[in-house]
Amino acid sequence: MKEAIVHAGPRVEIIDSPIPQPQAGQVVIKVAFSGSNPKDWKVPEWMTQTPPLNQGDDIAGTIHAVGDGVTEFKPGDRVAAFHEMLSPHGSYAEYAVAWAHTTFFLPQKTSFEEGAALPLAALTAAVGLYASNRLGLPQPWSPATKPIPLVIYGASSAVGTYTLQLALRSNIHPLICIAGRAQQHVENMIDRSKGDTIVDYRKGDEAIVQGIKDALNGKKLEYAYDAVSEKGSVQNLGRVLDAQSGTVTCVLPPPGGDWSAKWPGVPESIGQTSTNVGDVHKSVKDLGYVYSRYFTRGLEEGWFKAQPQEVVPGGLNGIQSALERLKDGTASAVKYVFKISETPGAGSGS
């Protein structure tokens, strides 16, 4: 099979590899579409001691084979899945491996393109919002009964989009959404009648801070989801979160890469947590299992929708140009996905 290896740069190398076999608790998926994420170019540059590998983690396709103990899925099922990061057999290939607990059915009305835009970012949103050692907000099936102001920084990003949709399902309002040129994407989801609003980050840090304060209208801010976690976003939140009870969760580690470190320029009394989606394969496996299945229900019922997608031509050969656009900031409110069958030589053998 054809497989793409991502090097620093980013530079993508297409190689021939054998079709993987599932271990107990795993599934092998014939990949129809793969999605990309900013980490796909960042990891090779940040983790220079890690050998280059297939960085794809968003899978959409059909079950090819199941490992021992897997009873929920069978060959031919339409699924999406979150591949375990930094492990072999990622989604940048004709066949990929995922753990069954982070695999979920795709309704017939949900396309593979949409499916490829979901797993990593949607699970990141769920972990940050609901894990007890992150924000620990009310679950969608036990929604909030009183106002809970929440700032979503980077609301038009993939993680921000899913954070916003899940927060709405949890009846969390007012939602104060930090966004830029993709504000209409956010506007289409929020509920202005409940105090939800948008603050334009392009106006600068002082305007962001003041915009959040204005939106709070005197209310205390105790929760912030930072789906950006760079370029001063955490420090801006540190200026508006309640000094005693405020908590921010961040999708990137502080400068230096230590997930347990404190962010500079943020008051010590403000709670700081890190949302690493890889924990659904470690410390929050149950949350990953439950929300993977909940996404299927949300897609079927229509309240949960995939981030808009752009199919990059060329299959695996399109990955490098997409990662370059993610690196230079060209992407806005869009998920780059790849139709694997368009890869030259795809389908020619194992």
CATH of the domain at 249: 3.40.50.720
Mean pLDDT of the region 5-22: 97
The chain-wide mean pLDDT, for the chain, equals 96
What gap in Å lies between CA 209 and CA 117, rounded to an integer? Answer: 31
The pLDDT tens digits for 197-233 are 999 999 999 999 999 999 999 999 999 999 999 999 9
Angle 81-137-149 from CA coordinates, rounded to 5°: 120
pLDDT higher than threshold 90 for residue 236: yes
The answer to the question of residue 127 being in a domain is no
Burial class (CB in 10 A: 0-12, 13-18, 19+), 189: middle
Q: Of how many residues is the chain composed?
A: 350
* pLDDT tens sequence across 89-123: 999 999 999 999 999 999 999 999 999 999 999 99
Judge if 177 and 211 occupy the same domain. yes
Distance of alpha carbon 27 from alpha carbon 74, whole angstroms: 9
pLDDT, tens digit, 9 for 90 and up, residues 159-196: 999 999 999 999 999 999 999 999 999 999 999 999 99
Q: Is 349 inside a domain boundary?
A: no
Please report whether residue 253 resides in a domain.
Answer: yes
Quick check: is 350 in a domain? no
Residue 42, domain member (yes or no): yes
Please indicate, yes or no, whether residues 31 and 110 belong to a single structural domain of this protein.
Answer: yes
39 in the same domain as 104: yes
3-state secondary structure of 269: coil
Query: End of a domain among 246, 274, 302?
Result: 274
The number of folded domains in the chain is: 2
118/42 same-domain check:
yes
Q: Does residue 350 register a pLDDT over 70?
A: no
Indicate if 214 and 316 belong to the same structural domain.
no
* Residue-level pLDDT at 349: 64
Q: Are 146 and 258 part of one and the same domain?
A: yes
End-of-domain residue from the set 274, 292, 327: 274
Q: Which pLDDT band, with edges at 50, 70 and 90, does 128 fall under? A: very high
Q: What is the CATH number of the domain that holds 316?
A: 3.90.180.10
267 and 177 in a single domain? The answer is yes
Collapsed DSSP state (helix, strand, coil) of residue 314: coil
Q: Which helix (H) or strand (E) holds 250?
A: strand 247-250
* Number of Cα atoms under 13 Å in the Cβ half of residue 262: 10
Query: Which of 274, 295, 312 is the last residue in one of the domains?
Result: 274
Query: Which SS3 state, helix, strand or coil, does residue 6 take?
Result: strand
Domain-embedded: residue 101: yes
Examine residue 130 and state whether it is found in any structural domain, yes or no. no
Do residues 75 and 194 share a domain? no
Pairing status of strand 247-250 against strand 271-274: parallel
Note down the domain range covering 152: 137-274
Torsion of CA 235, 336, 117, 182, to 10 degrees: 50
| Cα–Cα distance, 98 to 82 (Å, whole number) | 6
Whether residues 219 and 269 fall in one domain? yes
Q: Is 224 helix (H, G, I), strand (E, B) or coil?
A: strand
